């Protein structure tokens, strides 16, 4: 089946790279905001037969950036899918490398809904064929999709990058107990005997403030702290500070989705990180590891 890839405004670099890996044509979009805040988006085509009858891959990350927030990115995604639906394609595959709202995978306080499910319901309403995302905060939410849904793993790519930096005597540190399983899976890429340690993190569900504590045996160890998301950098900076207080040598701050909001970079470097490493699920200068080939490999054999 002939394929074409729509590069969403939220994934301009990664979208093009995936298309290059697949050796297929791309279509971009024309998007803007009206003075009242409403959004406009059209597929940048003059001839709709470019889309008709093809397998259409839409790539759109929904992370916040200086010119768009998550809500705008999500609505752009909805407009792209709906445009393709109206035009008519053989198959629609949606790739959302960073899925906004995925952290609210359950109800924390009375009166809430799990926002992750709300977003998935929106995507389900379009009756797409396949959905791909990367390193979901809680992979269990995949069951809420009504189509085939895949959580792509970026851990090997991130571990390969760190190995090239020459890290030695590695200990993987999880910034909280809940992320230990993910850290264990990550540690395997450095060797079977690599230790995984964790700090205790408690987040106040009303204010969002975190408290972290613990003392580990990290003397002369190179520490890799892996999280799915760096948002304000509070979690990572605190874990780095505690690692340094525990004797760590070099410390690498690794996140699949390095959103880097507010003073995140400053906080993390000031806490003592040697390097901050993210993937191109978010288009920024910390996107040192590309997901393009890994995602394209899934789409190739489709």
Residues that bind ligand R5P (CB under 6 A): 103, 137, 175, 227-236
Per annotation, catalytic residue among 3, 54, 72, 201: 201
Min dist CB 259 to ligand R5P, Å, is: 8
Closer CB to ligand R5P, residue 80 or residue 226?
226
Residues in the chain, total: 302
Min dist CB 173 to ligand R5P, Å, is: 13
> Given the structure tokens 């990350």, which residue do they identify?
61
Min dist CB 301 to ligand R5P, Å, is: 31
In sequence order, the 6+-apart residues with CB closer than 8 A to the CB of 237 are 264, 267, 268, 270, 271
Spatial contact of 73 and 60, defined as CB atoms under 8 Å apart = yes
Which of 289, 285, 63 is CA-nearest to residue 155? 289
Spatial contact of 214 and 225, defined as CB atoms under 8 Å apart = no
Quote the radius of gyration of the chain (alpha carbons, Å): 20
Closer CB to ligand R5P, residue 103 or residue 188?
103
In sequence order, the 6+-apart residues with CB closer than 8 A to the CB of 49 are none
Closer CB to ligand R5P, residue 64 or residue 234?
234
Task: Give CA 154 to chain center in angstroms.
Answer: 9
Mark whether 156 is an active-site residue: no
Closer CB to ligand R5P, residue 83 or residue 238?
238
Closer CB to ligand R5P, residue 130 or residue 176?
176
264-300 burial, b if ≥16 CB within 10 A, otherwise e?
bbebbbebbbbbbbbbbbbeeebbbbbbbebbbeebe
Min dist CB 122 to ligand R5P, Å, is: 22
Min dist CB 263 to ligand R5P, Å, is: 11
Q: Which residues are catalytic?
A: 201
């Amino acid at each position: 089946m002939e394929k074409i890839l729509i590069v969403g405004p939220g994934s301009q670099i990664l979208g093009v790279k995936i298309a290059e890996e697949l050796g297929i044509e791309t279509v971009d979009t024309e998007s803007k905001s009206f003075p009242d805040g409403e959004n406009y988006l059209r597929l940048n085509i003059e001839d709709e037969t470019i889309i008709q009858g093809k397998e259409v891959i839409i790539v759109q990350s929904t992370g916040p950036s200086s010119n768009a927030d998550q809500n705008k990115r999500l609505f752009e995604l909805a407009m792209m899918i709906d445009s393709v639906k109206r035009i008519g394609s053989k198959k629609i595959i949606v790739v959302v490398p960073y899925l906004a709202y995925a952290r609210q995978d359950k109800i924390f306080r009375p009166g809430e809904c799990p926002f992750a499910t709300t977003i998935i319901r929106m995507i389900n309403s379009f009756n797409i064929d396949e959905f791909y995302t990367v390193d979901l905060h809680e992979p269990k939410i995949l069951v809420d999709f009504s189509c085939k849904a895949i959580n792509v793993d970026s851990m090997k790519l991130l571990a390969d990058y760190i190995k090239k930096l020459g890290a030695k005597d590695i200990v993987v540190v999880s910034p909280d107990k809940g992320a230990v399983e993910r850290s264990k899976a990550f540690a395997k890429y450095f060797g079977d005997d690599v230790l995984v340690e964790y700090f205790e993190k408690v987040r106040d569900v009303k204010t969002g403030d975190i408290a972290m504590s613990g003392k580990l045996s990290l003397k002369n160890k190179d520490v890799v702290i892996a999280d799915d998301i760096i948002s304000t950098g509070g979690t990572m900076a605190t874990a780095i500070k505690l690692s340094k207080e525990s004797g760590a040598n070099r410390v690498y701050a690794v996140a699949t989705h390095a959103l880097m909001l507010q003073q995140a970079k400053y906080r993390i470097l000031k806490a003592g990180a040697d390097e901050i490493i993210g993937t191109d699920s978010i288009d920024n200068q910390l996107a040192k590891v590309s997901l393009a080939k890994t995602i394209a490999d899934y789409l190739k054999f489709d």
